[in-house]
Each structure stands twice: as structure tokens, then as C-alpha cells.
């Protein structure tokens, strides 16, 4: 089946064609007809399966069609998401799908001035994509009216629960009309997710896309055994061998992110970082630079591991293995998205072997090992452009310098 065969607005079909969408993914194929019928949907699907378009396409089409026959204003759809970056990404998809239609999406989130968001709300909005904090702030101030909402979408619901947003979701439900369509999307399902889902949906159509492999077949993922202090040399080598590729590097902490960035800078490699201590405007600019290819190397903590769709990331490097096995899947899922191929390489030091064991147990299969000969290993270190040496004192100085910069920025 092709998108042109669906009963959706002509303008949307044209937009999808320009976006390169020809045939629906499994989650889209199973979700779109039910959503167009007005049914509640409980969907469980991995990241990278096309979940956003699965609900954006039918919702935009329904609102567009209704606005042809009614002048009723007000927010018709609320999409609640756990993070600012994900909110912006989803809004971008809605905006692309809604071009040349009567549908106007808006994204609101915290960490930035609320006045521009209030001005846009006042000018009229059909679809509101929001993080919980800013949504409730603007609602309590009287800037958001939820009385005409016809569709509620909870995306990445499992992550929202993990971040402690259960009460926020419950509070939102109380403010919405009882008669509404509810779409519930989550990457995983457990008892807590089921309890929440079935408390807010009515006779839902349950859709579960659960491929045999937790990691997409489009992703070639492997691990290399590398000493902790030698990781920067092998990262330098991968970047040097793939100068035109987008490379997303995951580290465990904010300090590690800045430390790796400093090492690459000494090596003459341009890079940027993104983590929780960055101002929101800085984080957004860094993401835009990386998406557009202005910057080819992005070093990040797990703030970017879940749900963020960055086009054409050729490599994901797990510089540090994640402490939670499930995060491995979300990290490597930043590459090999849609029909594209990708590669993920993890650096495992001796002290991280237990983390690797946990990841392989979660995947229910071993991760392919990259065999690095002694000569090749030593040559990688010998050919580095980084002549700095590290000891405990220098590491503590770096941490102190990073924390000092952070305090000055807050003043």
C-alpha cells in the first residue's frame, strides 16, 4: 500500500511525496487507519520505526478536513513529550506534513522566554506539542485553553514515567474533555505502562511492533576492547578515517563530554558538546549545526539518546558504555534510521566488562567484537596528534575548571 491510497488530504499526500515518503512503515500501516476512524490507539514500537508520522499524518488530515467545514478555533490536539529536543523534533514533522493545509502546529517548552510562545498561542494554534512543565505553567496562567481538545497524544510514554511525569499526565487528563481520542505511544510496555495506558484510553486498538532483534537490522553494531585512557586515540582514528560522516559520540557524564571535546580540539578536530548543563538555546543551536552538517562531530550524554531523529548519522560511538542496558538500544538507534544504513561502535574498557555483559543479556545475543592486533593498537596511539598526558591531578583540574565555568555562566 502507498500513502496516495490513504483517505487523507491531497495536500498531505503531496507533502509526503516531497519528504520522500512512499510506503508506510509497519507502525504507520497499522496505526493510520484506526486513527482516521477516531479510535483510541495503544502502540508499542521501537525508536526509528516512524512513530511520529504514524500519528502526525492522520491527525493533521482530520483537523484540516474539519476546518474546511467549521470555523471553531482553539487547540484541537495536544502532544505531550518528555524532553525539549523531542518536542521540537515532533513539531518539525507536524510542520512538514501540515504545509499548505489549514493546520498550525506550535511547540512550547521550558528553559526559554515564554513571551514569544504566548504571542504564538494568541495568534491561534491547532496542534500543541509540549513538555509537561511549560504546558502547565501556561495553562495555569490562562494562556492555554484545553476545553476544545479532540485528540491527546502521549509519545515516549515510558520515558515520561521514568522521568517522574506520572502525576503531570494525570493532572493533564483532568483538564481535558472526557470525550476525546487518545493515542498512546511507547517504546516499551510493562505493568506501570499498562496501568497508565488503560486508565486513559477507551477500548483501544493495540498495536505492537516487536521485531526479533532489539537493534535494527540497518545497524551494524560492534565492540572494541580499549583501555579507558586510550579511547580518545581510537575516536581520533575513526573521525580521521571518516571525515565527511556525521559522528555522534556518547559519554557517561557532563564532565566526560567536555574532557573528550578538549582532547579532540587539541587534535585539531572540530566538535561540539550537548548535555544538561548547556543553556537551552545553546543546545538547540548545537543540534541544528549537527543536523545541517555544519558540525560533523557531536559529543553528548544520554540527553540525546532517546527519540531524537538526526538525519544521516553514519556513526554512533559509545565512548563510554551506558550503565543501563536499554540505553544501548536507544543510543545506537540514532543511526540506521528508516531505510538508511548505519554503524555503531562501542569502546569497552576492562572496568566496563560487566556493563557489556548486561547489554548482551538484554539483547539476548553477543555483540560482534572488533579484533585489534597489538601492532595496530600501538600504532593508533603512536600516530595521535594529542601529545597531552593524563593523570589524576590533571583530571581533577579539568573537573574544577569545568565546574568553575558553569558557576560563572549562571551568575
Question: Per residue in 106-116, pLDDT tens?
Answer: 999 988 899 99
278: pLDDT strictly greater than 50: yes
Using alpha carbons only, give the angle 353, 354, 356 rounded to the nearest 5 degrees: 65
pLDDT interval class at 262 (50, 70, 90): very high
Q: Give the Cα separation of 252 and 157 in Å (integer).
A: 24
pLDDT of residue 392: 47
123: pLDDT strictly greater than 60: yes
**C-alpha dihedral, 42 to 16 to 99 to 246, nearest 10°:** 90
Please tell me whether residue 113 adopts helix, strand or coil conformation: coil
**DSSP codes of every residue in 52-64:** HHHHHHHHHHHHH
Mean pLDDT of 149-155: 95
Beta bridge partners of 297: 247
pLDDT of residue 306: 60
345: pLDDT strictly greater than 70: yes
305: pLDDT strictly greater than 80: no
Q: Is pLDDT larger for residue 241 or for residue 305?
A: 241
**DSSP codes of every residue in 230-283:** GHHHHHHHHHHH-TTSEEEEE-SSHHHHHHHHHHHHHTT---EEE-TTS-HHHH
pLDDT interval class at 22 (50, 70, 90): confident
Q: Is pLDDT larger for residue 2 or for residue 376?
A: 376
pLDDT of residue 212: 62
pLDDT of residue 5: 87
Q: Which of 200-209, 333-342, 389-398 has the lowest mean pLDDT?
A: 389-398
pLDDT interval class at 376 (50, 70, 90): very high
**DSSP 8-state symbol, 156:** S
Q: Which of 155-164, 198-207, 381-390, 400-409 has the lowest mean pLDDT?
A: 400-409
pLDDT of residue 312: 87
Please tell me whether residue 48 adopts helix, strand or coil conformation: coil
The share of the chain scoring above pLDDT 90, in percent, equals 59
290: pLDDT strictly greater than 60: yes
pLDDT interval class at 194 (50, 70, 90): confident
**Domains defined for the chain, CATH in brackets:** 3-209 (3.40.50.300), 219-410 (3.40.50.300)
Q: Give the Cα separation of 228 and 233 in Å (integer).
A: 10
Beta bridge partners of 38: none
Q: Give the Cα separation of 96 and 106 in Å (integer).
A: 12
pLDDT of residue 242: 96
N-term to C-term CA, the chain: 57
Do the strands 272-274 and 313-318 form a parallel or antiparallel pair, or are they unpaired?
A: unpaired
Long-range Cβ contacts of 326-330 (<8 Å, 24+ apart): 326/188, 326/362, 327/302, 328/359, 328/362, 328/363, 329/46, 329/47, 329/214, 329/215, 329/362, 329/363, 330/47, 330/187, 330/302, 330/305, 330/306
Q: Give the Cα separation of 290 and 305 in Å (integer).
A: 15
Alpha helices in 70-209 (DSSP H): 84-97, 115-122, 132-140, 157-162, 166-175, 191-200
Q: Is pLDDT larger for residue 395 or for residue 239?
A: 239
- Containing 212, the helix (H) or strand (E) segment is none
> pLDDT (tens digit, 9 = 90+) per residue, 45-93?
876 678 899 999 999 999 999 887 766 689 999 999 988 888 988 999 9
Residue 235 makes CB contacts below 8 A (sequence gap 6+) with 249, 260, 264, 317, 319, 347
Q: Which of 95-99, 327-331, 350-354, 384-388 has the lowest mean pLDDT?
A: 384-388
pLDDT of residue 121: 95
405: pLDDT strictly greater than 60: no
pLDDT of residue 168: 86
406: pLDDT strictly greater than 60: no
- Containing 310, the helix (H) or strand (E) segment is none
Beta bridge partners of 152: 78, 182
pLDDT of residue 210: 67
**C-alpha separations of 66 from 63, 73, 93, 101, 272 in Å:** 5, 11, 20, 11, 44
408: pLDDT strictly greater than 80: no
Q: Give the Cα separation of 151 and 365 in Å (integer).
A: 40
**C-alpha separations of 187 from 42, 120, 200, 211, 245 in Å:** 11, 31, 18, 12, 28
Q: Is pLDDT larger for residue 235 or for residue 276?
A: 235
Say if CB 58 and CB 32 are below 8 A apart: yes
Largest CA distance in the chain: 73
231: pLDDT strictly greater than 90: yes
- What is the reported pTM? 0.73
249: pLDDT strictly greater than 60: yes
Q: Give the Cα separation of 103 and 341 in Å (integer).
A: 34
Residue 373 makes CB contacts below 8 A (sequence gap 6+) with none
CB burial of 21-38 (b: ≥16 within 10 Å; e: otherwise) equals beebbebbbbbbbbbbee
Amino acid at each position: 500500500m502507498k500513502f496516495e491510497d490513504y483517505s487523507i488530504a491531497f495536500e498531505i499526500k503531496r507533502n509526503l511525496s516531497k519528504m520522500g515518503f512512499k510506503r508506510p512503515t509497519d507502525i504507520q500501516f497499522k496505526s493510520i487507519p484506526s486513527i482516521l476512524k477516531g479510535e483510541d490507539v495503544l502502540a508499542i514500537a521501537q525508536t526509528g520505526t516512524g512513530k511520529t508520522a504514524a500519528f502526525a499524518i492522520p491527525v493533521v488530515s482530520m483537523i484540516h478536513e474539519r476546518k474546511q467545514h467549521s470555523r471553531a478555533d482553539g487547540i484541537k490536539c495536544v502532544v505531550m513529550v518528555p524532553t525539549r529536543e523531542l518536542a521540537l523534533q515532533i513539531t518539525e514533522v507536524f510542520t512538514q506534513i501540515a504545509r499548505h493545509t489549514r493546520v498550525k502546529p506550535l511547540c512550547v517548552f521550558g528553559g526559554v522566554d515564554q513571551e514569544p510562545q504566548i504571542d504564538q498561542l494568541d495568534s491561534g494554534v491547532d496542534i500543541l506539542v509540549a513538555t509537561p512543565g511549560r504546558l502547565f505553567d501556561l495553562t495555569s496562567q490562562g494562556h492555554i485553553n484545553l476545553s476544545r481538545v479532540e485528540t491527546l497524544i502521549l509519545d515516549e510514554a515510558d520515558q515520561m514515567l521514568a522521568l517522574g511525569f506520572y502525576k503531570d499526565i494525570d493532572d493533564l487528563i483532568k483538564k481535558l474533555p472526557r470525550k476525546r481520542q487518545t493515542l498512546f505511544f511507547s517504546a516499551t510496555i510493562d505493568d506501570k505502562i499498562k496501568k497508565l495506558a488503560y486508565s486513559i484510553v477507551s477500548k483501544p486498538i493495540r498495536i505492537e511492533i516487536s521485531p526479533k532483534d532489539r537493534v535494527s537490522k540497518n545497524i551494524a553494531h560492534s565492540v572494541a576492547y580499549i583501555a579507558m585512557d586510550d579511547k580518545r586515540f581510537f575516536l581520533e582514528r575513526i573521525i580521521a578515517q571518516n571525515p565527511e560522516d556525521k559522528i555522534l559520540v556518547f559519554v557517561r557524564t557532563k564532565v566526560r563530554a567536555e574532557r573528550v571535546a578538549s582532547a579532540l580540539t587539541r587534535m585539531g578536530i572540530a566538535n561540539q558538546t550537548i548535555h544538561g548543563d548547556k543553556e537551552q538555546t545553546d543546545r538547540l543551536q548545537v543540534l541544528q549545526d549537527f543536523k545541517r552538517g555544519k558540525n560533523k562531530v557531536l559529543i553528548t550524554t544520554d540527553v540525546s539518546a532517546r527519540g531524537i531523529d538526526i538525519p544521516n548519522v553514519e556513526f554512533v560511538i559509545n565512548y563510554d558504555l551506558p550503565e543501563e542496558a536499554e540505553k544501548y538500544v536507544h543510543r545506537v538507534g540514532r543511526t540506521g534510521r528508516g531505510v538508511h544504513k548505519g554503524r555503531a561502535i562501542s569502546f569497552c574498557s576492562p572496568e566496563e566488562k560487566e556493563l557489556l555483559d548486561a547489554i548482551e543479556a538484554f539483547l539476548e545475543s553477543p555483540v560482534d567484537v572488533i579484533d585489534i592486533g597489538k601492532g595496530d593498537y600501538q600504532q593508533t596511539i603512536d600516530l595521535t596528534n594529542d601529545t597531552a598526558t593524563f593523570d589524576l591531578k590533571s583530571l581533577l583540574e579539568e573537573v574544577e575548571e569545568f565546574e568553575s565555568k558553569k558557576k560563572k555562566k549562571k551568575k
